[in-house]
Amino acid sequence: MDHFLYRNGVLHAEDVPIPDIASEVGTPFYVYSTATLTRHFKLFDEALAPLEHLVCYAMKANSNQAVLRLMASLGAGVDVVSGGEYRRAKAAGFPGERIVFSGIGKTAEEMELAIQSGIRQFNLESEPEMHLLNAVATRLGKHVPVTVRVNPDVDAKTHEKIATGKAENKFGIPISRAREVYAEIAGLPGLDAIGIDVHIGSQLTDLEPFEQAYLKVAELTHALRADGHDIRRLDLGGGLGIPYERSNVAPPLPTEYGDVVKRTVGDLGCEIEIEPGRLIAGNAGLLVSSVIYVKSGEDRKFLILDAAMNDLIRPAMYGAYHDIIPVIEPSAGGEQTPYDVVGPVCESGDTFTKGRDLPLLYADDMVAFRSAGAYGAVMSSEYNTRPLIPEVLVHEHQFAVIRRRPTFDEIINRDTIPEWLKG
Ligand code: LLP
């Protein structure tokens, strides 16, 4: 459920008509709903409720400072994967003890930043990383909490580009080697192995791979405890999928996911962490765009929008489906026609969808891409010198620009011309 509904024939974000936002910021723009973000966080929080737990929002899905501030105010933790994300988390008000640092390529600078400014735990992904973190921690005279991200070799049954839990993927340490690695950590003065981490992929629409992975983690917990390690925290990653196509069967709910967690690892006495990103932010955001032209091709109609692949790359990159709905509600049973919906960028890959049946649309009509709150704005670029589009946050009847559109001068002046080319 989200908070983007038609009222009196006009699409609203909570109590704000989308055209009101468009007249203030211009299209294209992203708009997020506070009520939906809040609701999704609480669904996870409640699904794990009887267990000691922390929902660590995976900010890679949407790292706008306002979204982060909202999450921090709800009591969330946060999962970061770079020094930049760590800085964003701190700037938004997350205390160090609620920041988890994931990622396969952490540098010494990033480790030092997080150790000095506070960290809940590092999720280690390789032996070389383990040695570097130990060296950095020892130099700083610190003993830092770590988990080892294990690769359980489980098929997440999702798009190949976002599956992370198979042996062929670059993530984690093979679960078969985990006991050796924990034994080695026990001998390192800078590290304290407090738990286990696993994340098998994103946009999972089936609970079975989670179940398989978590059962392997439970088994490993017993084995490591028998080896003498004090395993007291399990980070179970993110990955629960969202309904992109409303006509399809909906993916499992957070409550059902919570049941899997309780069934597989609930009786181990461990504190549970999860790292959802997409389910919290995805359906809390729309990308709103205007039709520039309707162009007739040889055998099809192109709907040319002012949004493009640089603003929302998911369709071009993963062949992802996003619902597209007109901002002015079409009449029930009104005429529909198939469109190829495209952006102005100069490559054929800049196609959002082909042959999609939509109500008749004309120049200046506005449309909204649903489910665009996660992996939308964060993955955008300025390709074709198209400025990053504004982000807007709605709260009941109020809205605020939470990232403004840069000016062309700002974009152009980031480049510099070397002396030898001047004059
Ligand atoms: N934890 C780790 C270690 C991750 O790598 C990810 C996502 C998450 C948590 C959050 O997963 P979520 O709950 O959002 O599924 N750009 C792609 C998705 C990439 C996901 C990367 N890792 C897309 O647009 O579909």
Quick one: three-class SS letters along 70-94?
Answer: HHHHHCCEEEECCHHHHHHHHHHCC
CA distance 57 to 54: 9
Å from CA of 5 to ligand 1 middle:
27
Apex CA 407: angle with CA 401 and CA 409, to 5°? 160
Expressed in angstroms, the distance from the first to the final Cα of the chain is 59
DSSP annotation string for 333-370: T--EEEEEEE-SSSSTT-EEEEEEEEE---TT-EEEES
Q: What is the model's pLDDT at position 165?
A: 86
3-state secondary structure of 394: strand
145 CA → ligand 1 middle, Å: 23
Task: Return the pLDDT at 1.
Answer: 64
Q: What pLDDT is stored for residue 249 in this prediction? A: 85
Active site residues: 346
Retrieve residue 383's tokens: 């390709």
Q: In order of start, what are the domains of the chain with their CATH numbers?
A: 4-31+282-412 (2.40.37.10), 63-276 (3.20.20.10)
Per-residue pLDDT of the chain (423 residues; tens, 9 = 90+): 689 999 999 999 999 999 999 999 999 999 999 999 999 999 999 999 999 999 999 999 999 999 999 999 999 999 999 999 999 999 999 999 999 999 999 999 999 999 999 999 999 999 999 999 999 999 999 999 999 999 999 998 889 988 888 888 899 999 999 999 999 999 999 999 999 999 999 999 999 999 999 999 999 999 999 999 999 999 999 999 999 998 788 899 999 999 999 999 999 999 999 999 999 999 999 999 999 999 999 999 999 999 999 999 999 999 999 999 999 999 999 999 999 999 999 999 999 999 999 999 999 999 999 999 999 999 999 999 999 999 999 999 999 999 999 999 999 999 999 999 998
Q: Which of 44, 57, 60 to mutate to test the pocket of ligand 1 (most atoms within 8 A of CB)?
A: 60
Residues enclosing ligand 1, CB less than 6 A? 58, 60-61, 79, 102, 162, 199, 202-203, 237-239, 275-279, 314, 318, 375
Answer yes or no: pTM beyond 0.85.
Answer: yes
